Structure 1
Amino acid sequence: MLQRFFIFCSGADTDILENCSSGENTKYAGIGATVFFTAIMATIAGSYALFTVFDNVFMAVFFGLIWGLLIFNLDRFIVSTIKKRESFIDELIQASPRILLAVIIAVVISKPLELKIFEKEINQVLLEQKNELTLENKDQLALQYTPTIEALTTEVETLKNEVTAKEAEVNALYNTYIAEAEGTAGTEKIGKGPVYKEKREKHDAELAALNQLKETNSTKIEATEAQIAQLATQYQNKVAETQPIIDGFDGLMARVNALGELPWLPSFFIFLLFLAIETSPIFAKLISPKGAYDLKLAEQEGALKSWVVQQKSQRDVLVATDQEVNNRVYADIADEQELYDYKRKIARELMQDQANAFYKKQKSVL
């Protein structure tokens, strides 16, 4: 039962194989088994590849089965259409388009499995790429906010410097009138005289101005720092909004690109493995000697071709004979007077009817 199933997978004619030796049946069962297991590998590879796209197990398995059936049908068609010929070169030329198609199928099948086999290494590469993308994203977003934040920070520093400078000025006036009172500077007279009073009033006026400046600048600083905090919050929110896009950077194309950054030799050997699996049914038929199945198939096709050629030749003879008979019949009756008189009568009546119809039409126009 299993052998018959694998023979079906090989695309061989079961009616012919029934009359062949067990060795022929075993050969084509082996070719069919290769086709079948290649389709199984294609189903697994396709399901995994589609799972990385849809992230849904049922959908991936469904489309993976469809992909496996497609590969099975292609392989079965490729193997079944290769016919044994007298020259190996002719067979190789006949199989060359199939071999090219097999190479394409091998690439398609091997790539998803490479992604699964090297999944940990690919995840490491993707993690590094995500980290780089995160830093680049933050830098790009910072370009939108940094100039404004720096300008506002400079404004805050300017306001603080104004207060500091005013405090230094007030402190200097304080030391001046204290020194005047102690007699260590100014008039060098101890006591609170007119000069002391004048310097004290100037200090008090500047102190009041300092307090007013502190209040005004404090309000401005609070407003500016609130703007800075708002911009910083907007920047953080923007980073948080864009981060999921970077975290989701692990689709099929991203993984294929990450696989390309890994050493090529292991991936190449996996490709060679699947290429050998995919092309093994073709080369098995190419290198195998012409067996009983091939001879009987060629005999059956030759008999059918001869029958078709014979039928065509007979139809050509029949048509030629019928044409010759018709020519002779018409030639014999062409000289009969009775036929001539009858056709002359019919032609006369037809011309009379045409003349009457033309007369009636012209009269209706007038």
Structure 2
Amino acid sequence: MRLLHTSDWHIGRTLHGTELLAEQETVLGGLAEVVAADRVDVVLVAGDVYDRAVPSADATAVLSRVVARLRRAGAAVVLTPGNHDSARRLGTFSELLAAGGLHVRAETRQVDEPVLLADEHGDVAVYGLPYLEPEIARFELGVTGARSHEGVLGEAMDRVRADLFLRPGTRSVVLAHAFVGGGQPSESERDISVGGVDLVSPAVFDGVDYVALGHLHRPQTLTPRLRYSGSPLAYSFGEAGQQKQAWLVELDAGGLADVRPVPLPTARPLTVLTGSLEELLQDRAHAAAEAHFVSARLTDPVRPADPMRRLQTRFPHCVHLEWTGSAAVSDGRTYQERLRGRGDLDVVGEFVGHVRAVPATAAERDLIGRALAAADRAEAAG
């Protein structure tokens, strides 16, 4: 049996306010080509199917079309909710969906009820563990003393192993959405820690043939049978240049036989450009970035006027701007410390200088002083 391990689709996510639905559908819909080319039997989605608990109608339509393409290509789909999803919403009509080959495992109390799939060697039990919020899952699982993610996941895995004991010879796969020790985070994941209780030991997942992990957005191997697929798209500029992938997992009669990476296409690359505004607008070396999502770090000593609009004349997908010129560097004092003992005229004058990176002139300070005096008179008059 061949399984395609994916996770963290985050359908509906934006990049600095820019919608990514078209790029997401391009990449996720392209998984159907992998299914057909590599004769994949099952596509796994280990949590964070959507980017928010209440997805938009457009986001749900993208998921519907992507799953339909995967099914037409010949694969069943097993998915679980992550910390971004609403498990109850995602699990709606799950029994009916299962009849069409889409298996949603969203109920905490059903963690030991696998999706049973068969090949020429017998059954494969696929256990989908939804993201287990400790303060909720400990009551649902009847382990009220378990206040950490490891505690509730440990109970869930104990139930999985108990069910497997009753299925001798059955091969096993677990989907879980967690931060497992040894994993390397990216800047685009939402923190799931509460005082450090998010970290889970790899030993929690002992006793199964393969564990398809979700939550961390970079692909990584913790052990040969314990892996993160990472997100199929880059969701922060910290992931610029990162090759996204899925894992193609093969099970034979004895269990895990092979795992290999399947590179995924990049719908629109992310690029970070650094230089003065004029350099970025004129340098021909940046021609390829004109079709990319761009984050610009401007090094001009004085803040340029209207920089985003000007950048977007060349880079229409520029979505982020940062000014790093010398005048942007703080002197290390807090805002309160910088205001202490200073009058209104000094404060407003410094603000004007900070915004323009050029100190206010004497004439401007005179105008500011007269405006402040007029404001004081108006306030005194009621």
- TM-score normalised by structure 1 residue count: 0.24
Higher strand fraction: Structure 1 or Structure 2?
Answer: 2
Q: Which has the higher relative contact order, 1 or 2, with Cα contacts under 8 A spaced 6 or more apart? A: 1
Higher helix fraction: Structure 1 or Structure 2?
Answer: 1
- Whose Rg is larger? 1
